[in-house]
């Protein structure tokens, strides 16, 4: 069955860095699930999924514009660490399960660059 608009899509993925090291995977849990064609997925990945068939295996490299947008270096947001959910280890908070931001803890505040 082809992936087209209004189809529910379920898939496993590996998110890799430029050096091909796996940064995140769905293989140890449930697959990702979304409704195709309704902007429920980052646009570059949804476009790459269009017209794929059940069982297809492929890789795609996305430009920032096709993923979460360009990094905005002058945009900073401060959130108290106590408001973040994740695994706590000493003064660090590990944000789970996604790695959409890079964070540096400056106790008791967390600072990072914003993504569009």
pLDDT at 87: 59
Hey, which of 30-44, 79-93, 97-111 has the most confident mean pLDDT? Answer: 30-44
pLDDT at 111: 36
Q: Which two tokens stand for residue 22?
A: 């796996």
pLDDT above 90: percentage of residues in the chain: 31
pLDDT of 84 higher than 70: no
pLDDT at 89: 63
Least confident stretch, 61-70, 75-84, 88-97: 88-97
């Amino acid at each position: 069955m082809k992936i087209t608009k209004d189809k529910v899509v379920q898939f496993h993925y590996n998110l890799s860095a430029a050096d091909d090291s796996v940064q995140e995977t769905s293989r140890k849990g449930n697959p990702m699930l979304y409704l195709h064609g309704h902007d429920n997925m980052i646009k570059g990945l949804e476009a790459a999924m269009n017209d794929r068939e059940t069982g297809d295996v492929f890789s795609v490299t996305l430009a920032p514009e096709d993923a979460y947008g360009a990094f905005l270096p002058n945009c900073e947001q401060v959130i108290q660490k106590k408001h973040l959910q994740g695994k706590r280890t000493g003064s660090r908070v590990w944000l789970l399960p996604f790695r959409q931001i890079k964070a540096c803890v400056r106790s008791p505040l967390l600072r990072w660059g914003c993504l569009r």
